Amino acid sequence: MKDTTVDTKLLIANRLRTARKQSGYKSSREFALKYGIPESTYSQHETGKRKIRIATLLRYCEFLSISPGWIIVGEDHYKNSNLL
């Protein structure tokens, strides 16, 4: 049986990376530095190597102007439609 937890974590990580790039941040380091997030923590969130707490995920959504629904389940799209 396939572990859907791993798949979900990777989907969220990929959406996070996509949102960061679409928001104009060329690297995870650039994004992390702007918002005072430890670089290694953010990088691990974006690669799916580390779990993201809901509160942290919601902060990322706010910083990137994306809806929590999109980052979690791929629905609701971006808050700012020109990022699609």
Six-digit token string for 31: 């994004």
pLDDT digit string, tens, across residues 50-71: 999 999 999 999 999 999 999 9
* pLDDT at residue 74 in the model: 85
Six-digit token string for 30: 């650039």
pLDDT less than 50: residues of the chain: 81-84
* pLDDT at residue 84 in the model: 44
Among the CATH numbers 1.20.1250.20, 1.20.1090.10, 2.30.30.60, 1.10.260.40, which is that of 4-79?
1.10.260.40
Neighbouring CB atoms inside 10 A of 52's CB total 22
pTM of the prediction?
A: 0.81
Q: Residue 75 and residue 37: Cα distance in Å, rounded?
A: 26
